[in-house]
């Protein structure tokens, strides 16, 4: 299991590839914008290739990390597609935060050719990816996971088998829907407090020592909102996609889910308003604009880590 391909050198895929670029592995990288792959290969023990078919040729493991499952699915077919070259007995590990139905479809298609599939979305953000400390949520055959585990451990600290194909995607989507709820809810509360005369920093000091705290209140808001830094680490467009997957999941499972459904609508609205490149935390700007107040640090003191 040492011949590896990684496709998708984005914000998460690049640091993942960095951890796989070791002498004990034979790593090839492919990216839609080829220049990113050639730059990566010039700086690491890795080889850049021109097509997904070139990437998958003779590989034991092919790892993908693209925006949505359908992007991965679209790399399977055609003369330049991965199915043209991926050997029987190999495994596609899809680290995209994907959707369960497309993952199941890909797994079935690959199984016809004796190729394994695991959905393996990650959490921990860019910071976790750079540190090689991601959590990896895996759906698929448990024995297959054990075969690829040593490779996943290069970038993952916590690797959790969730169940059948698609369950990693489902869990990741629900986690991110909770993140979205915390961002939106915290923004609503803090904007209302600002207008009522309580500075957001004072409010967070209390909330973060109380039961209303969350990763959003403890890390994202102090570091990114109150500083007005809004660094771009995880696109709002991707969080919108994740919440929509969670909302669909709840509907499919016939679970009454007004909160998930409305959160999905709110993030679709924010995505449309702020565009493709906005960061996920910038959803708070939409709440500020509608509410008519900004959340700012008055002391200049901020703390925490946003992962």
234 near ligand NDP, judged by CB under 6 A: yes
By CB under 6 A, tell whether 139 contacts ligand NDP. Answer: no
User: Cβ(23)–Cβ(17) under 8 Å?
Assistant: no
Token pair 């991707």 is at which residue? Answer: 238
Distances (CA, A) of 87 to 57, 58, 91, 157: 7, 6, 9, 29
Strand partners, 131: none
Is the CB of 204 or the CB of 238 nearer to ligand NDP? 238
Question: Which residues have CB under 8 Å from 212's CB, separation 6+?
Answer: 189
Q: What is the largest CA-CA distance in the chain?
A: 65
| Residue 215 binds ligand NDP, judged by CB under 6 A | no
Q: Is 22 a catalytic residue?
A: no
Six token digits for residue 39: 């730059």
User: What is the x/- site pattern for ligand NDP, positions 66-105, by CB under 6 A?
Assistant: xx---x------------------------xx--------
Q: Are residues 104 and 166 in contact, defined by beta-carbon separation less than 8 angstroms?
A: yes
- 132 binds ligand NDP, rule: CB under 6 A: no
CA distance 26 to 51: 17
For ligand NDP, the closer of residues 125 and 166 by Cβ is: 125
Interface with ligand NDP includes 158 (CB under 6 A)? Answer: no
Closer by beta carbon to ligand NDP, 96 or else 102: 96
Of the candidates 75, 76, 84, 144, the one whose C-alpha atom is nearest the C-alpha of residue 116 is 144
Task: Report the nearest approach of ligand NDP to the CB of residue 231 (Å).
Answer: 11
Judged by CB under 6 A, how many residues of this single chain contact ligand NDP? Answer: 24
Q: Does residue 285 bind ligand NDP (CB under 6 A)?
A: no
Which residues of the shown chain bind ligand NDP in the complex (CB under 6 A)? 8-13, 31-33, 36, 65-67, 71, 96-97, 122-123, 125-126, 233-235, 238
Q: Which residues are catalytic?
A: 172
């Amino acid at each position: 299991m040492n011949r590896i391909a990684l496709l998708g050198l984005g914000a998460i895929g690049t640091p993942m590839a960095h951890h796989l670029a070791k002498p004990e592995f034979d790593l090839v990288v492919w990216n839609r914008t080829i220049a990113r792959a050639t730059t990566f290969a010039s700086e690491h023990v890795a080889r850049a290739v021109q097509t997904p078919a070139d990437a998958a040729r003779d590989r034991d493991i092919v790892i993908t990390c693209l925006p949505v499952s359908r992007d991965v699915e679209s790399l399977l077919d055609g003369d330049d597609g991965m199915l043209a070259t991926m050997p029987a007995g190999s495994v596609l590990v899809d680290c995209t935060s994907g959707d369960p139905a497309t993952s199941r479809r890909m797994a079935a298609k690959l199984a016809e050719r004796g190729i394994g599939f695991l959905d393996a979305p990650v959490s921990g953000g860019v910071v976790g990816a750079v540190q090689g400390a991601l959590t990896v949520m895996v759906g698929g055959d448990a024995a297959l996971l054990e075969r690829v585990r040593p490779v996943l451990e290069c970038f993952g600290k916590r690797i959790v088998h969730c169940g059948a194909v698609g369950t990693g995607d489902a869990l990741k989507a629900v986690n991110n829907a909770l993140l979205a709820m915390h961002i939106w809810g915290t923004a609503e509360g803090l904007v209302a407090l600002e207008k009522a005369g309580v500075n957001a920093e004072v409010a967070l000091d209390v909330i973060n020592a109380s039961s209303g705290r969350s990763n959003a209140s403890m890390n994202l808001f102090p570091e990114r909102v109150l500083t007005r830094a809004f660094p771009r680490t995880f696109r709002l467009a991707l969080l919108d996609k994740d919440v929509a997957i969670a909302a669909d999941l709840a509907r499919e499972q016939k679970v009454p889910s007004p909160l998930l459904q409305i959160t999905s609508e709110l993030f679709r609205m924010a995505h449309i308003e702020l565009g493709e490149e906005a960061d996920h935390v910038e959803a708070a700007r939409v709440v500020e604009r509608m509410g008519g107040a900004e959340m700012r640090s008055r002391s200049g003191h901020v703390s925490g880590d946003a992962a």
